[in-house]
Amino acid sequence: MTFGGGYAMLPILQREIVENKKWATEEELMDYFAIGQCTPGIIAVNTATFIGKKTKGVLGGIFATLGLVFPSLIIISLLAGVIEAFSDIVWVQHAFGGIRVCVCVLIINAVVKLLKKAVIDKFSFAVFLAVALAAFFTDLSPVIFVLIAAVLGIVIKNAGGKKA
């Protein structure tokens, strides 16, 4: 159970998938996050589907997806009425304010861990900087960023004589 949606689950996914279960490497997980960002649906659900498919085939993908969705569905269904009934209480509002700040920290922590593995040379730093600036100052779709970064990776790495 997490607050903050799919992005808030990224540090949990990273810890469980890479560090604890060793179902994927950091690099594979970053690829799954990138593809999951570009495909319809929640990034955490898409990533779970990829991991399930990788480890146990199509049925693994299906069960991983259901395993991620159903507990949240049940909890949300139970909490929906309760949260609305108590949302006017000041201390509940303050609690959610604190939870929102905590979610930001968890997301930043996941980003820093992934950044250490992704930005490994001048080229990857340049792509990171360009995408970060474009994301901060434009309303372009993340799909556009991923596609442009993929093309840059192919062109620049091949032009430099390195295999992508």
Prediction pTM value = 0.55
Closest CA to 32 of 65, 54, 56, 4: 54
Residues 56, 123: one domain?
no
- Residues 35-68 have pLDDT tens digits of 887 777 788 888 889 999 999 999 999 999 999 8
Is residue 144 one of the residues assigned to a domain?
yes
The reply to whether 1 falls in a domain is no
| Residue 5: pLDDT band with limits 50, 70, 90 | low
Residues sharing a CB contact under 8 Å with residue 11, sequence separation 6 or more, in sequence order: 106, 107, 109, 110, 113
The pLDDT tens digits of the residues spanning 103-157 come to: 888 888 878 888 888 888 888 898 889 889 999 999 998 888 888 888 888 888 7
Say how many domains are in the chain: 2
Q: Could you tell me if 24 and 75 lie in one domain?
A: yes
For the chain, the helix, strand and coil percentages under 3-state DSSP, each to the nearest 5:
80, 0, 20
Q: What is the pLDDT of residue 2?
A: 57
Q: By residue range, what is the domain housing residue 138?
A: 119-164
